[in-house]
Amino acid sequence: MNSLLKGVLITFTFLLLTTRSGFPANPAVLIIDSPMPPPNWALLERELIRANTAACQEFFARYFDERGYLLCVERWGGDDGPDDAIENCNDWPILHALGAPDVVLEMYKKAWEGHLRQYTQAKTSQVPFARDGMYYKEFPVMFDWVHNGEGLTVFNLQGLSDPNDLNFQKRVRRFAGFYMNEDAGAPNYDPKHKIIRSMFNGSRGPLLRKATALDWAGDPIEVENRFRLGHGERNYQEMLDHFKEYTDIVGDHPQNLLATSLALNAYMLTGEEKYKHWLLEYVDAWRERMAANNDIIPTNIGLDGKIGSECDGKWYGGAYGWGFTVVVPQTGKLAHRNTHHLGFVGFMNAYLLTADDQYLDAWRKQTARINGQKKTIGGRPMHPRMHGDKGWYDFVPGEHNQNALETYYLSMRHEDRLRVPRNPWLDFLDAKNAEYPETALRSEFARIRQRVESMREDRTTPDTRLSDDPMQFNPASVSSLIELMMGGIHPGNKGSVLHCRVRYFDPVARRAGIPDDVAALVEKLSADEVTLSLVNLNQLTSRTLTIQAGGFAEHQFVSVSFRNESREINAPSLVVKLAPGCAGRLNFKMKRYANAPTLKFPWDR
């Protein structure tokens, strides 16, 4: 190679590689051989993955035993329960999918399997539906999707790294089947009215009576001088009082749309159309209800399929509804607990499958309706968050903008961008915040350090520890890595799948995640392109990675360019070989949502 060109030329070549090397036959391989001193962001990324891993190992050793059981007092309930036990591993599947060592996946799987056994064996004495076990068929017997979703957050992300695990595959099908009437013991779904029949639902079916405070709070428990409850209750009576108004649970509620993530995972695993059909049927039913209710999603659908019919005809009725304002027992203050917005996850799932803007537009219209109720109070514009018998209430400063970031991320429309509050990551993508990568990554180090320090100071013992107590010390810190490496948004803690623009695989190690020593930075996103910088920090050894368009290959790379050279790809993935100590900035043209999403790894497709 001419010495003047050496170190700056990217060559494209087709190589015939054997399956022994870890590549599919005849891949298009992009070779990057431009040396570059490691940038700070790249060093920080790799060290952050290492620090996360070490911190999670210490956390696991502290709070889980050799069986994967959480060392705590097992209880059922909305304060603490089975869902909280496995929430202690939130973000661990994503950490592994980013490139953390296999020990992270192994710890998560041990905790997942352990908690399934632990809470199948754990039984209530007074809560009727959990007397034979809090889990049945490895799934919550029946509870609301605020809690079901939390308990399934890590499981719904396992397919990022582990889709070929046989137990995972069986569970994905079984769990989705609970909502498609494939299990006679769990008739959760009414296909005639297209509703999930109760807010309490699960492997033993729907609860078709009013809920009691006992159903929500769980069996009596000693509190004083033993436990510090997450909601601040000082005794068991206050636990009951916290839930005494949570009675209207019969019929459908938007938060049940979180169940569609089960069907989405089943579709991405199997490719079977029945899962896609059910998901779109259910989301479409809710979209039609929004249109019929003046663009506002109702929070109760009766067993007859009519809006509000289980709540005296009130579309805003029901537990966790638009009018759900309750008294906090320990303070006497009012708390507004409207969870209608959780339903947007179902609409995001439908958009992932179809790229149909009607699923986003339904929520744009709702936002416009709510903001149209603006009032000037004390000289300030105020907008409502709640609706009751006397109309809109709970007026607060600022426009209603729930799900604005997610809407823009999916649509990539300028008008949706204008509704997103100030966001330093989006500013960086707009070339207005060049310091963001280093600033964001350094803040994650501080978070890990603070959580590990607090964990080491934790004085609870297994018999004075509830399942949600360790969550505050979970050190996994991946939000910035999702943004910067994947060009994605954090999925939250309610069982959503991961939405991202690119993902990485190691074709040599045959696993998900970016290879050792490699760092990646998504520098620009638009509706049809992504700009990505790659760095090989290893000065002695080349690294090979596969870049995938989208979290589930739902996008398609059209072409890739570097400086003045461009080549067509027309595939959902590309293999890249980075020479020792080399780096390159790649610009991909792409078609978003051009492919059916799949959990299969690139070499298995």
* Tokens at 292, concatenated: 């019929």
Beta bridge partners of 544: 577
Task: State the DSSP H helix or E strand holding residue 496, giving kind and residue range, or none if neither.
Answer: none
In this prediction, residues 326-330 reach a mean pLDDT of: 94
Q: What is the pLDDT of residue 231?
A: 84
Fold of 10-33+501-604: Immunoglobulin-like (2.60.40)
Q: Exposed, middle or buried: residue 552 (CB in 10 Å: 0-12, 13-18, 19+)?
A: buried
Residue 11 scores a pLDDT above 60 = no
Residue partners of 549: CB distance under 8 A and separation at least 6:
501, 502, 555, 556, 557, 572, 573, 588, 590
- Strand ranges in 303-401 using DSSP code E only, listed in sequence order: 325-327, 334-336, 375-377, 380-383, 386-388, 391-393, 396-397
Q: Return d(Cα 489, Cα 466) in angstroms, integer.
A: 30
In this prediction, residues 221-230 reach a mean pLDDT of: 92
Residue 22 scores a pLDDT above 70 = no
Q: What is the pLDDT of residue 15?
A: 36
Tell me the torsion sign for CA atoms 590, 591, 594, 596.
positive
Output the DSSP codes for 77-124: SSSSSHHHHHHTTTTHHHHHHHT--HHHHHHHHHHHHHHHHHHHH---
236-273 per-position pLDDT tens digit: 999 999 999 999 999 999 999 999 999 999 999 999 99
Q: Return d(Cα 328, Cα 331) in angstroms, integer.
A: 6
Sheet holding 529-536, edge to edge: 518-526, 529-536, 583-591, 556-562, 565-571
* Total Cβ atoms within 10 A of residue 561: 16
Q: What is the pLDDT of residue 230?
A: 85
154-192 per-position pLDDT tens digit: 999 999 999 999 999 999 999 999 999 999 999 999 999
Three-state DSSP class for residue 435? coil
Q: Return d(Cα 349, Cα 371) in angstroms, integer.
A: 25
280-282-284-286 Cα dihedral, nearest 10 degrees: -150
CATH 2.60.40.1180-classified regions of the chain: 10-33+501-604
Beta bridge partners of 383: 396
Q: Return d(Cα 187, Cα 202) in angstroms, integer.
A: 9
Q: What is the pLDDT of residue 312?
A: 97
Look-up of token digits 């695993």? 269
Output the DSSP codes for 25-66: SS-EEEEE--B-PPPHHHHHHHHHHHHHHHHHHHHHHHHB-T
Q: What is the pLDDT of residue 25?
A: 38
Q: Return d(Cα 132, Cα 120) in angstroms, integer.
A: 8
Q: What is the pLDDT of residue 562?
A: 82
Q: Return d(Cα 567, Cα 511) in angstroms, integer.
A: 27
Q: What is the pLDDT of residue 23?
A: 33
Residue 429 scores a pLDDT above 50 = yes
Q: What is the pLDDT of residue 13?
A: 36
In this prediction, residues 61-76 reach a mean pLDDT of: 98
Average pLDDT over the chain, rounded to an integer: 94
Residue 198 scores a pLDDT above 60 = yes
Q: What is the pLDDT of residue 407?
A: 98
In this prediction, residues 422-436 reach a mean pLDDT of: 97
Confidence of residue 382 (pLDDT cuts 50, 70, 90): very high
* Tokens at 296, concatenated: 């506002």
Residue 227 scores a pLDDT above 60 = yes
In this prediction, residues 134-151 reach a mean pLDDT of: 98
Residue partners of 478: CB distance under 8 A and separation at least 6:
52, 91, 94, 95, 98, 444, 490
Q: What is the pLDDT of residue 19?
A: 33
Q: Per-residue b/e over 309-318, b at no fewer than 16 CB within 10 Å?
A: bbbeebbbbb
Confidence of residue 9 (pLDDT cuts 50, 70, 90): very low
Q: Return d(Cα 514, Cα 88) in angstroms, integer.
A: 24
Residue 14 scores a pLDDT above 60 = no
530-547 per-position pLDDT tens digit: 999 999 999 999 999 999
Residue partners of 152: CB distance under 8 A and separation at least 6:
83, 175, 261, 262, 495
pTM: 0.94
Q: Return d(Cα 436, Cα 73) in angstroms, integer.
A: 42
In this prediction, residues 206-218 reach a mean pLDDT of: 98
62-66-70-76 Cα dihedral, nearest 10 degrees: -170
Q: Return d(Cα 504, Cα 535) in angstroms, integer.
A: 13
In this prediction, residues 448-459 reach a mean pLDDT of: 98
Residue 8 scores a pLDDT above 60 = no
Q: What is the pLDDT of residue 563?
A: 78
554 neighbors 596 (Cβ within 8 angstroms): yes
Q: What is the pLDDT of residue 16?
A: 33
Beta bridge partners of 589: 529, 559
Residue 404 scores a pLDDT above 80 = yes
Question: In three state form, how does the secondary structure of 274-327 look?
Answer: HHHHHHHHHHHHHHHHHHHCCCCCCCCECCCCCECCCCCCCCCCCCCCCCCEEE
Residue 212 scores a pLDDT above 60 = yes
φ and ψ at 191, to 5 degrees? -70, -20
Q: What is the pLDDT of residue 140?
A: 98
472-505 per-position pLDDT tens digit: 999 999 999 999 999 999 999 999 999 999 999 9
Residue 96 scores a pLDDT above 80 = yes
The amino acid sitting at 483 is: E
| Residue 108 exposure: Cα atoms within 13 Å on the Cβ side | 30
Look-up of token digits 């760095």? 535
586-599 per-position pLDDT tens digit: 999 999 999 999 99
